[in-house]
Structure 1
Amino acid sequence: MMKRNRILSAIVMASLPVSVPVMAMQVLEDTDMAGVSGQSGITIEVTTDDPNGEFLTTGELRFTEADRDGKGEDYLAIGGLKLRTITTDATGVMTGVDTIRTDIDIDAEGNVSIRQSDVDTLDLELGAVSLSGRELFNAVRFSVWKFVGDSYLETVLLNDPEGAKVGFRTVMEEGSGLTYQFDEDGLTFSSDIVFLPKAGESAFRSELFLTGTTDELKLEFGETSGSFEIRNISLLDSSGDNIFGANDFGDLGYADISINTGYITMAANTDAGVDGIRGKINSDMTVGNVFYRTGDQRVNFNDVSLNTNGEISYTLDFIDITSENAIDRFKVTGIESHITDITDLDLTIGSLTLSAGDGSSQSLSMGSYAIENLNLNGGSIDLSMLTLPGAGSQGLQMDLVMAGTTSFDLTIKDDPAEVSGNPDPQLTASVVLNNVSVSQTIDQTDKGLHVGILDQSMDININQIRVGDGLIQQGQTGRLVMNNISLQPGSYFRVEPLQ
């Protein structure tokens, strides 16, 4: 190598014009180059010259099963996509076209970062969403997604020794948010999504990680810090006005997720004659606070935890069936899921409280609640979301069947005792469910959200009902058996804001 460097130096010196002063040159060894470094990465700024800020538009997007030309009978279709990048004023009205900055960089560990920042506002609109030709929604919109301050979206290609791994990070400073809407039957479901940082921090943060092997993908949940709120849940008419005047359905939110384990795997279904995907779900996580707020009051579910104690199996498939009966011929389309291997699932609520709308001035706890050791006992849960004639022109039908016997332990505790060593008063029972079948329609109407009963039946046994303090039970108070519980087909309930 040293010989080649000397030859190269001689050629360069000989090729210089005589009038050029030649400085003394030294041969560099390979080890000398190891200390040479520069600034890696590039910055790309993207904008559009469209006066409306349209940056990307597409025709129909279609996902099909078991075919290679996009013409399969079972499919999910979106009638098109439109992305706008704009600037807006304080009321969300467009004031100009925006420029998005993308930084691509490689850090010292070999991770590649692709970060979109300096964003003012994004608008994303999806066309009609349909399953195998039957429409679910007219349109779906993520409108006026405001990026405040140094908010950004980031994709990271991680240099992981175990294989390919991609991270997705969302960082939103206080004041960032968007409006989510979807249209159905001439009405619009609308809500405002707001990101709030954790106390003492500057931004809401959330992470997802995608890894791949030879036969499956794995989506892992990473850090989530801060609060995510869904506000002003409303129904709007064709003019965009709230059909209930100043009233809405209230707000929902969650904050401070702590994750020990949380992932979903996805792979092609290998069962004979079955399309779709299969995978596993594993969860051991706690949400610090889940709440529902109306006016300036809210109910808080604190320290809500979900632990599957291992992996749950699932399959997911599109269905497209033409059925005939004595009266007419109709088409059933939708998504069908099958869940098994639930043997020890725990769902607990650490405490239930009331508070002011901002979460302050919480009341004393109204108790804690737990469903533990949930076991399908070899059975399954089948859940279908269907589009059917009679469920509104675009309404949704949901079918739930819990085959076999499902059992779990129920615990309701009083407020924790203030005296150390004094156990909590509690009520416990062993619950067994048999023959659970629920079929209902969900539709939005000008009178509110309408849930209609097509069929609902089950058997319930509540066994070993006991009260006590956790150490000394006050005997068994009995057993409650309720067989053939059913709701009359055609019954319904409707959800609407208080008038």
Structure 2
Amino acid sequence: MNKTLLSVAVIQAAVASSAQAMQVLDDSDMASVSGQSGITIEVTTNDANGEMLTTGEIRYTEEDKDGQGADNLTIDGMSLRTITTDADGVMTGVDTIRTTIDVDDQGNVHIRQSDIDTLELEFGEIALSGRSLFGGVRLSVWKFIGDSYLETVLLNDPAGSKIGFVTAMEEGSGLTYQFDEDGLTFSTDIVFLPKIGETTFRSEVFLTGDTDELKLEIGETSGSLEIRNISLLNDKGENIFGANNFGDLGYGDITVNTGYFTIAANQDPDVDGIAGRINSDLTVGNVFYRTGDQRLNLNNVNLNTNGEIDYTLDFIDTGFTTGIDTRISNVSDLDLTIGAITLSSGDGSNESLSMGSYAIENLNLNGDSIDMQMYTLPGVGAQGLQMDLTMAGTTSFDLTIKDDPAENAGDPDPQLTASVVLNNVSVSQTIDQTEKGLHVGVLNQSMDVNINQIRMGDGLIQQGQTGRLVMNNVSLQPGSYFRVEPLQ
């Protein structure tokens, strides 16, 4: 979800800046505008390919504090196209974007881009300190159906500056998302679906800031976003598995009590990068995985951090490989619950009775942290990324699995509960796109597991026997792997 929302924010900013750059209003122009509730700007490019905005290299560089040189993230150029297309997504002409600027009676400034047929946003090679991460990223053939629009709102907030980014998409709107790696392309179609009884998918993100940090808040999300036709393509754009793909994913109807993360400079004088806080209490009404006309549903998925947790993020460059180093800490009471698991037809109809609810509650790192590094591997070829994850010390949580029959007054649900303790979790693996599918190789994976206070009953009267399960030195043999490919 966050990648999609941030991509939308990038597009909105690019479109807005393009409109301002291509048509400047001076004082005499403004003086001629009278008796109107706002102003309208129509922008058309004279480029035959529809290019409205292009850039050379985009570079973000950190100060050199570790003696390894200035770490950097580079994007080898960006282009934004506005075009018209036919039913097959083939370009038929150059599009015009209408931008309206209006002030409402609350003093909020609304900048809306509408009357858009199709947008295309493309980034060149993305690299960390000179080592390629992706060969390119594209948001292609983003169709805006009917009155769909992107809107930036400058809010008149007494607390300070606040900017809202709104995405409103009528049914039928969607785009294709792709990224390249090692001669292969990961491709998927993204479709926006309104909530039942409504006509428009809508999502909101708010950006606020002060002298110390930026805060990105998740606002209302009404409707569903589906990620369809997850596929791997060869260098000719052909699905390497023929008509088969990895299925579809989707989520929708997000209810937010609290949802934000902040971005600030790392205050540690010996550490580069950024630091911030995450606070979440949000519920996703439905998350699903679909193959053919069958769907597995996770209903009412709630993530609650019960306050703020801390994170840091830094680019790393060892001289042999580059990557990103992330740390999550100050986790003492995180809850993740799934209200119900069901099966249904592909469109969500004919939903089965629940197969139970599941909860991981009171997750506590006990003063330690979760450390994760993602590296680009040295050399050239189909090697992918390496991911290292460490949870040093003790991590504990409570596990609850409930049967979920039809509700009967005064009849508690049968349930299984346990207290789980993980010690010294270490995972190191490679992740790679190959012509045989997604390949995950094991470099190292080990931990100690204690499942304590195993109890079964109805939540009021515990039945069976309380027990304990101990598994020390749980590990996978280095060199092992698993591969994910579409069902043949």
TM-score (normalizing by structure 2): 0.91
1:216 aligns with 2:216: no
Aligned residue among 58, 61, 66 for 2:63? 66
The partner residue of 2:250 within 247, 250, 253 is 253
Q: Which amino acid aligns with 2:151?
A: E
Mapped partners of 1:394, 1:142: distance in 2: 25
Q: Which residue number corresponds to residue 138 of structure 1?
A: 135
Q: If you compute each CA radius of gyration, which structure gives the higher value, 1 or 2?
A: 1
- Structure 2 counterpart of 1:344: 333
Q: Which residue of 2 aligns with 1:427?
A: 416
Aligned residues: 452
350, 358, 362: which one aligns with 2:347: 358
The equivalent residue for 1:373 is: 362
Partner of residue 111 from structure 2, selected from 95, 107, 114 = 114
Change (3 A) 1:107 1:394: farther
Equivalent residue number for residue 28 of structure 1: none
Contact conserved, 2:63 with 2:70, CA < 8 A, in 1?
no
Q: Give the match for residue 268 of structure 1.
A: 265
Q: Residue 275 of structure 1: CA displacement?
A: 1.0
Question: Aligned match of 2:461 in 448, 472, 487?
Answer: 472
The CA deviation at 1:478 is: 1.0
**Alignment partner of 1:489 is 2:478:** yes
Amino acid in structure 2 at the alignment position of 1:354? L
Q: Which of 426, 438, 442 lines up with 2:427 in the alignment?
A: 438
For 2:198, give the aligned amino acid.
E
AA aligned to 1:174 is E
CA distance in 1, matches of 2:79, 2:69: 25
Name the CA distance, whole Å, in 2 between partners of 1:277 and 1:439.
Answer: 24
Distance 1:40 1:255 in 2: 34
Q: 1:152 aligns with which of 146, 149, 152?
A: 149
Separation in structure 1 between the aligned mates of residue 36 and residue 86 of structure 2, nearest angstrom: 36
1: CA distance, partners of 2:333 / 2:48: 57
Residues 391 and 311 of structure 1: CA distance in aligned 2, closer, same or farther (over 3 Å): farther
Task: Tell me how far apart the structure 1 counterparts of residues 383 and 422 of structure 2 sit (CA, whole Å).
Answer: 33
Aligned to 1:335: 324
| Alignment partner of 1:203 is 2:200 | yes
Unaligned segments of structure 2, at least 5 residues: 1-33
Q: Counterparts of 2:106 and 2:282 in 1: how far apart (Å)? A: 29
> Is 2:353–2:405's contact at 8 Å kept on the other side of the alignment?
no
Partner of 1:408: 397
Distance in 1 between residues matched to 2:36 and 2:80, nearest whole Å: 33
For the residue of structure 1 that corresponds to 2:145, the secondary structure is coil
Alpha-carbon separation, structure 1, partners of 2:166 and 2:465: 52
Q: Which letter does structure 2 place at the counterpart of 1:45?
A: E
Shift of 1:419: 2.3
Q: Percentage identity across aligned positions?
A: 79
User: Match for 2:368: what amino acid?
Assistant: G
Give the aligned residue type for 2:461.
I
What's the offset of the Cα at 1:475? 4.8
- Gaps of at least 5 residues in structure 1 are 1-36, 323-330
DSSP 3-state at the match of 1:477: strand
Q: Is the 8 A contact 2:368 2:394 kept in 1?
A: yes
- Aligned amino acid, residue 353 of structure 1: T
User: Of 121, 125, 131, which residue of structure 2 is paired with 1:128?
Assistant: 125
Deviates more, 1:482-491 or 1:393-402: 393-402
Point out the more displaced range, 443-452 or 44-53: 44-53
- Decide which moves more: 278-287 or 394-403: 394-403
The CA RMSD measured in Å over matched residues stands at 1.4
Q: What is the distance in 1 between the residues matched to 2:97 and 2:170? A: 17
Deviation at 1:392, TM superposition (A): 4.8
Q: Are the counterparts in 2 of residues 412 and 427 from structure 1 also a CA contact under 8 Å? A: yes
Q: 168, 172, 175: which one pairs with 2:169? A: 172
Write out per-residue CA displacement over residues 282-336 of structure 1, whole angstroms, 9 at most, x where no aligned residue.
00010000000000001000000000000000111111112xxxxxxxx121111
1:399 equivalent to 2:388? Answer yes
Letter in 2 for 1:46: V
The SS at the match of 1:135 is: strand
TM-score computed with the length of structure 1 as normaliser: 0.89
Once the two structures are TM-superposed, the CA of residue 66 in structure 1 deviates from its matched residue by 2.0
1:358 aligned counterpart, secondary structure: coil
| 2:393 partner amino acid | G
In 1: Cα distance, 2:196 partner to 2:477 partner = 49
Alignment correspondent of 1:243:
240
Q: Structure 1 residue 189 and structure 2 residue 186: aligned?
A: yes
8 Å CA contact retained: 2:277, 2:311? yes
Match for 1:439: what amino acid?
Answer: S
